Amino acid sequence: MKLFIFGMGYTSKVIAARLRAAGWAVAGTGREGTVRFEDRDAVLAALAGASHVLSSVPPARQGGDPVLEAYGEALAAAPASWLGYLSSTGVYGDTGGAWVDETAEVGTGRRSARTAADLAWQDLGARVRVFRLPGIYGPGRSALDRVREGAAKRIMLEGQVFSRVHVEDIASGVVAGMAGPAGVYNLGDDEPSSQNAVIEEAARLMGVAPPPLQTLEEAALSPMALAFYAENRRVANGKAKRVLGWKPAYPTYREGLRALSATTRPIIASAAPEPASSDQR
């Protein structure tokens, strides 16, 4: 079995590691890959020999999917039996905290380019699985790291909730999707919750006081972080569980942070961390 990945980054390299451990040959483009995206001959040769193809490349800032624009025709003609695309639950937009599943309307939020890419990948036909992902966390990218770095913030927004997913659960979901039927799948944890609750749990695990509550104005967030707080939704993962037999190893942020805390450097200080001037999801 041979997987070719467009965009070997944080999430896709975890997928690659899982499959290599199972005996797969994996190659790809990106900072962790061995093939340059611009090397058309090399990419076409890789596609010709791949049984599975996955893209984790986000849409361009000006719109359009870089992979489909450069290699859409080649993908349509490729012999691969399976095509996968890592999308975002941002395609659902703001739901005021209501639950959404894969049947919900898309394209109503700020991620219009992502929605267009999501739908374009689906148009490639019956070989395609689209995985819609919420906030991704894992080693080196979690609330534990933000607390340790003094970059964590707690924002006063009543009723604000988000879904999230551990990177290892994305990998297991994508692997499960290789044996399951084509379609769209939400891969998120079981308990959408406020960002404040996650930061507070991370601070508890680190043995420090959580950062103070702030208004959005006081927090002086970046435009990207402000856009993140402008949406409020709960993402249902029932389809992936029913159809793919997927079961997250980290069903809530508590299990995920607890596991990560064993490998996160402790804070060598007695005072609570000073909040930074910007936030990062």
Quick: pLDDT tens for 211-267. Answer: 999 999 999 888 888 888 889 999 999 999 999 999 999 999 999 999 999 986 766
Which pLDDT belongs to residue 240?
Answer: 98
CA distances 167 to 15, 17, 140, 250, 253, Å, are 9, 12, 11, 10, 12
CA distance 5 to 16: 8
The more confident residue out of 118 and 278 is: 118
| Burial (CB count within 10 angstroms: exposed 0-12, middle 13-18, buried 19+), residue 220 | middle
Which pLDDT belongs to residue 271?
Answer: 36
Which pLDDT belongs to residue 63?
Answer: 82
Q: Give the rounded percent of residues in the chain with a pLDDT score beyond 70.
A: 94
Quick: pLDDT tens for 185-213. Answer: 999 999 999 999 999 999 999 999 999 99
| Among 139, 276, 267, CA closest to 203 | 267
Give the pLDDT band of residue 274 (cuts 50, 70, 90). Answer: very low
Which pLDDT belongs to residue 103?
Answer: 97
Give the pLDDT band of residue 46 (cuts 50, 70, 90). Answer: very high
Question: Which residues are CB-neighbours of 200 under 8 A, at least 6 positions away?
Answer: 154, 210
- Looking only at Cα atoms, what is the longest distance across the chain? 60
| Among 96, 75, 205, CA closest to 145 | 205
Query: Tell me, what DSSP letter sits at residue 173?
Result: H
Which pLDDT belongs to residue 281?
Answer: 30
CA distance 111 to 157: 22
| Among 217, 218, 200, CA closest to 209 | 200
Give the pLDDT band of residue 117 (cuts 50, 70, 90). Answer: very high
Average pLDDT, the chain: 92
Strand spans (E) along 8-81 = 25-28, 52-55
Which pLDDT belongs to residue 276?
Answer: 35
Quick: pLDDT tens for 157-177. Answer: 999 999 999 999 999 999 999
Please list the residues that pair with 84 across neighbouring strands.
54, 129
Q: Which two tokens stand for residue 88?
A: 């975002």
Q: Which two tokens stand for residue 157?
A: 């927004």
Please list the residues that pair with 164 across neighbouring strands.
135
pTM: 0.92
